[in-house]
Chain A
């Protein structure tokens, strides 16, 4: 099979100078005095992409994804290594580069074609299709400055999908426009990929990557952490962004791991919670402050400190509370937010109709909340709150004493090899019952069986 993109041990180093004159001094002394810091954005990247394949590149921010694409597009020069991109390449590094707001949509397309090194006749034959795909109507011949931002991206994207490159490099540019346009865009992309266009796709939209790409590279800190099938790369990506916690929890690095007789339900000592406190000192908190959540610890069903769990698994939140005044009817709760900011679930001891003991000044209380994460795979943030009974008539209103927001992330993973227990935001109880099969042909002939 034709290899359209070949990358061999590509590395990129940036030289960081504190001020431009340091660079001048370095030049003047022919490099004998080094006044810069080195930053290796990419290290030894190697991969190949064949004709008609789509390779996804995912990874956390700062991993080097955009740098890699810029090198392949010719916008940056590599420090070491070689690469080869065959055929005509179109790079979609940010839609609308080179669009002049004074010109009309049509004129801008011609201008962009120029920028990309295409002869204008090439655009001639396709401009009708582009116009139709964009769906801009009259606006196509009006200056860009009157466009809405949605129209703007539609124009840019329409241009790129119709230029039939041999290689298409896309950086984050796909999740634009409204949902209808996105569907159209994806369908069109799938079409050109199956038509033989090779595609290199960088995105944070892991759903898109799994959808479009056969293989994917997980890039972390400039190195290839994984190179293989797209769904597995996505899963590993989710597994890694839990951050430090998963690594520390597994094994016996640092603190001693005691074997708990019943890890799920055992209440911890204040010291144990304090030793693995996930609340940071300068973290945002608000509330009256009469009752404070001093520390919180998160463990899974096996007692390990982690915020990563499988779908339908559970995490236990151990909270250490301290009363700074007399507290009547305290309550503790947790909110779970998905990546779009939806409150997926929020509840607490008040909703469970459990009455916590009243507290006097200086009392400490340990509360443990075990939450079953019957939600879809992905990243979540959570908030912990402590409140006091407010004495209001409405039982839902409490007096907020302390609240810590934007904690986490909680990472819920799904095993790509196994059957997903459900699709959607969260699991609802669903049951199924069925009869024995009833033969159809007797009924059809009009005769009744009964």
Chain B
């Protein structure tokens, strides 16, 4: 599977870039919307939660503190959701190509994941910028950020690949995914802090695959310290495990996928 992606790397890269560009093709500001959208979200949440709702977060000053906490989790989460949704639909969307050309299937999933990753990078860069502007300057620990989001994207890619394989046969999966992601969102401490959860529920939080990533992001951005070795280990295992699962599913069902599209 890696070989397939490697051989088509230029194709994937070009299409991922172009996909980002053309999301707003035809609009006058074009590529700029890729920047404005996440920026706007960050500013809006900042306004609402900090100024209007005045929520407080430990370790952070009142006022913008909560906004930073929120965005640190929300921006990556939104991107993760998008990655998984697009990758799940990837085979169905590119059925035209898969029906006629001998391009390896995972190339299209990689393309969608790549495009999402680029937009995630932009979002994170903006986040860092906004934090600095608010006086919450980056520390050395923030060097860990690229690592975290790469692992997060790997997890998203693997999950998207796995679901995508099954989605070609059971198209309901893509639909149900939307609902599932919503549930998952609320099961992860993004818009609220861990501390408000009762102890018993908090004990089970570790089962949530997104929890290690969000926690690591909070650790780095909010607390400005490094994630622990254990955190890295868990993140890496999801980031490797899911693509492997996805690959196994693909390999087993590959002939039937083309038949069904």
Contact = CB atoms under 8 A, between A and B. Distances in A.
Interface stretch (B6-14, B74-82, B214-222, B230-238): B6-14
B169 interface: yes
Interface in A60-90: 70, 73-77, 79
A91 B100 contact: yes
B61 interface: no
Interface string B100-134: 11110000000000000000000000000000000
A75 B99 contact: yes
Nearest to B7: A117
Interface stretch (B40-48, B63-71, B186-194, B250-258): B250-258
Contacts of A21: 170
A16 to B, nearest CB: 10
B17 interface: no
B104 to A, nearest CB: 9
A93 B101 contact: yes
Nearest to B170: A20
B170 A70 contact: no
A116 B11 CA distance: 10
B22 interface: yes
A23 B253 CA distance: 12
Interface stretch (A50-58, A94-102, A155-163, A340-348): A94-102
A73 B100 contact: yes
Contacts of A117: 7-8, 11, 103
A76 B254 CA distance: 9
A114 B10 contact: yes
A97 B101 CA distance: 9
Nearest to A73: B102
Interface string B1-32: 00000011011001100000010011000000
B150 interface: no
B102 A74 contact: yes
B137 interface: no
B6 to A, nearest CB: 12
A-B interface, 6 closest residue pairs, ranked by CB to CB distance from nearest: A74-B102, A77-B255, A93-B100, A114-B11, A20-B170, A76-B258
25 contacts: A14-B259, A15-B256, A20-B171, A73-B101, A74-B101, A75-B98, A75-B102, A76-B255, A77-B258, A91-B100, A91-B101, A93-B101, A94-B100, A97-B97, A97-B101, A98-B96, A98-B97, A102-B22, A114-B15, A115-B11, A115-B97, A115-B103, A116-B101, A117-B11, A119-B10
A70 B100 contact: yes
Say whether chain B's binding surface is mostly helix, strand, loop, or mixed. helix
A76 B97 contact: no
A77 B171 CA distance: 22
A131 B171 CA distance: 42
Contacts of B259: 14-15, 76
Interface residues of B, number: 25
B96 to A, nearest CB: 6
Instruction: Classify chain A's interface size.
Output: 20 to 34
Interface of B: 7-8, 10-11, 14-15, 22, 25-26, 96-103, 169-171, 254-256, 258-259
Contacts of A73: 100-102
Nearest to B166: A24
Contacts of B103: 115, 117
Contacts of A119: 10
Contacts of B100: 70, 73, 75, 91, 93-94, 97
A20 B169 contact: yes
Interface of A: 14-15, 20-21, 23-24, 70, 73-77, 79, 91, 93-94, 97-98, 102, 114-117, 119
A256 B101 CA distance: 54
B88 to A, nearest CB: 15
A20 B22 CA distance: 34
A127 to B, nearest CB: 17
Nearest to A93: B100
B153 to A, nearest CB: 23
A97 B96 CA distance: 7
Contacts of B8: 117
Nearest to A85: B102
Nearest to B96: A97
A77 B254 contact: yes
A91 B243 CA distance: 30
B229 to A, nearest CB: 39
A119 B259 CA distance: 29
Contacts of B254: 77
B91 to A, nearest CB: 13
Nearest to A72: B102
Which of B10, B15, B102 has the most CB atoms of chain A within a 10 A radius of its CB? Answer: B102
B12 to A, nearest CB: 10
Contacts of B101: 73-75, 91, 93, 97-98, 115-116
A116 to B, nearest CB: 8
A73 B98 CA distance: 11
A75 B258 contact: yes
A75 B99 CA distance: 6
Nearest to B10: A114
A23 B97 contact: no
Contacts of B11: 114-115, 117
A117 B97 CA distance: 13
Contacts of B10: 114, 119
A288 to B, nearest CB: 50
B107 to A, nearest CB: 10
A341 to B, nearest CB: 31
B257 to A, nearest CB: 9
A347 to B, nearest CB: 48
Given A20-B171, A75-B99, A91-B100, 11 more contacts: A14-B259, A15-B259, A75-B101, A76-B255, A91-B101, A91-B102, A98-B97, A102-B26, A114-B10, A117-B8, A117-B11
A119 to B, nearest CB: 8
Contacts of A75: 98-102, 258
A20 B102 CA distance: 25
Nearest to A107: B18
Contacts of A94: 100
Contacts of B256: 15
